Amino acid sequence: MPYRGTVYLTFDDGPDPRWTPQVLDILRRHGIEAVFFEVGTSVAAHPGLVRRVRREGHLIGNHTWNHASLTTLRGRAIRAQLDRTERALGERPRCVRPPYGAHDARVDEVIRSRGQRVMLWTVDPQDWARPGADRIVRRILREVEPGARILMHDGGGDRSQTVAALERVITRLQARGYRFGLLDC
């Protein structure tokens, strides 16, 4: 199959002690690196998982301390959400993914003023709603195009369907000529 383009996997809401290791195992088997947008409360609870994510070559983005909708907060509270997560991570990630994709000019300015950037997604299979592994796979295959940033979840609830879908997503996209890259984040 000729090369069709590069796509990027991203995972939100982790780390989770049940689901994140399974996602990492699948990615390692395929030699794929991804960006994990981590929630600070989970980082604080599971620092060993964050170390594993880094050790295996993945990048980490900030997904706020407690999955707050940043557009409902004032500037100081936005900064506090990001700062607290960064203290738990021990670093300032270059990318922030606002929960729910909710951002506006004010949120963007706070993030930019910190030397960071907003990183959203272009493909959302809505795995967070647990529609079934088959539906997750179909949505991704239907919406993907070169350069796609695919949103999936490794935390925030039961992610068994996401884990079940991930292997199939990878093999089917590779069969279609896609390669997996690591976002500049």
Please determine, for residue 1, whether its predicted confidence score (pLDDT) is greater than 70: no
The domain total for the chain is 1
Supply the pLDDT for residue 67: 98
Supply the pLDDT for residue 185: 86
**CA 103-36-10 angle, 5° bins:** 75
Domain that includes residue 99, residue range: 5-181
Confirm whether 153 is a catalytic residue: yes
pLDDT digit string, tens, across residues 25-60: 999 999 999 999 999 999 999 999 999 999 999 999
Arithmetic mean of pLDDT over the chain: 97
**114 vs 13: CA distance, rounded Å:** 22
DSSP letter (8 states) at residue 7: E
Supply the pLDDT for residue 3: 79
> The CATH number of the domain where 78 resides is what?
3.20.20.370
pLDDT band for position 109 (cuts 50, 70, 90): very high
Q: Find the catalytic residue in 46, 127, 153, 154.
A: 153
List the one residue out of 127, 103, 132 whose CA is nearest residue 13.
127
